[in-house]
Structure 1
């Protein structure tokens, strides 16, 4: 089977939920006050400008198709980044964010206070395999991504594809593209925040997808849309 020639993944722009979650973590409160359900959280004003800045990179890369998470912040990012480009956009629910179940809307402090048993269970199992009640582990998200990438290879042989999704998806696409082990992925993820509207990409050389860039925000600095403080927090409030 012919493989993809080029694969990229863009994390959505800064969302209103990112800002609220960071403020809650900084303030040391237990719960994040986000009125919308996770799927309906929109981009902030800065996030919209960041998404527009991605457009210049995509115009140069010339992807054949953009596959996008159904969550509003990702769809808005893709629409702004692809404006004026002749690139079809396909929404696929397998790119949705990791579901947090009972941990949803809790800060790290909130989980320790309200669900200490879950905090201990997560510490024991680790981020890769820990599944909160009603939620997903990173391994669960990988099942979705494996199926999606297999279909993309079949539907776009030798193609150029960009995904627009969420932080966990960026890490896990790297895991799949580079054939990493759990330990290698966790070493990369430890202490790393995938920046809003960062771009990670891989190009096929000698029959293998090889890293081209990871968590790159050069385009944001060029357009003056990089955040001035650490607002691009992990979509998962619980580290």
Structure 2
């Protein structure tokens, strides 16, 4: 099957919304008071520094290891991350709405405590169906997000045969690209999701070996602690062509 030579995914840097949401969760609040709509939430100062560290990581790659194109979620925090990371790199940046974050519908701006208190029927329905298939009213399930990711990756394979593509997306993007790349089951994906908090500006990647993509990095943050230093590879894991 035709496929990419290399595929990477960067989660956006810390946003002002991330900070507010964490404070609301740890403070036991029911609602998250973010003034902007989700698409317009910007990076925090820390997030901008994280994005610049990704840029240093990219600059430290050998020329033949650098991505040929970056495909970016249209949300502001993600575009800002890509713009800072790609500045001066010469890497083409393409915005694609299929990389947008999962839409939460009626659950938007509610903490876990808020969902239980204000929408008990939805809380129970989510618990029964599971995160993969649960679709909140007005929102998307993880399976819904996978439909648009599959379409995007199919186009990238066709348009960048043997190419190197870097995605800039969201936490769900990283987890679901891994699901597709490594041919995980629902149970395996949930195990990864429950055990992992995808870090802001972490790097995950897959490299083609023997006709298939194999996992190279997952949720790697070395570059955030030693700016400019390429991340250390993890042990290769068999993965499905995407």
TM-score, normalised by the number of residues in structure 2: 0.91
What is the CA distance between 1:173 and its match in structure 2?
0.2
Task: Quote the Cα distance in structure 2 between the aligned partners of 1:182 and 1:57.
Answer: 32
Hey, what does 1:228 align to over in structure 2? none
Q: Does 1:188 align with 2:192?
A: yes
Q: For residue 120 of structure 1, give the secondary structure of its aligned residue in structure 2.
A: helix
Hey, what does 2:132 align to over in structure 1? 128
Q: Does 1:84 align with 2:88?
A: yes
Structure 1, residues 55-78: CA drift from partner, whole Å, max 9, x if none? 122231410000000000000000
Structure 1, residues 128-153: CA drift from partner, whole Å, max 9, x if none? 00000000000000000000000000
Structure 1, residues 70-97: CA drift from partner, whole Å, max 9, x if none? 0000000000000110100000000000
The Cα RMSD (Å) is: 1.0
Task: Quote the Cα distance in structure 2 between the aligned partners of 1:205 and 1:169.
Answer: 23
TM-score, normalised by the number of residues in structure 1: 0.92
Hey, what does 2:217 align to over in structure 1? 213
Runs of 4+, deviation exceeding 3 Å: none
Task: Quote the Cα distance in structure 2 between the aligned partners of 1:183 and 1:139.
Answer: 13
Hey, what does 1:114 align to over in structure 2? 118
Task: List runs of 5+ in structure 2 lacking aligned partners.
Answer: 229-242
Task: List runs of 5+ in structure 1 lacking aligned partners.
Answer: 225-239
1:166 to 170, 174, 180: 170
Q: Does 1:12 align with 2:12?
A: yes
Q: For residue 213 of structure 1, give the secondary structure of its aligned residue in structure 2.
A: strand
What is the CA distance between 1:7 and its match in structure 2?
0.1
Decide whether the 8 Å contact of 2:72 with 2:82 is kept in 1.
yes
Q: For residue 36 of structure 2, give the secondary structure of its aligned residue in structure 1.
A: coil
Once structures 1 and 2 are overlaid, which stretch shifts more, 52-61 or 161-170? 52-61
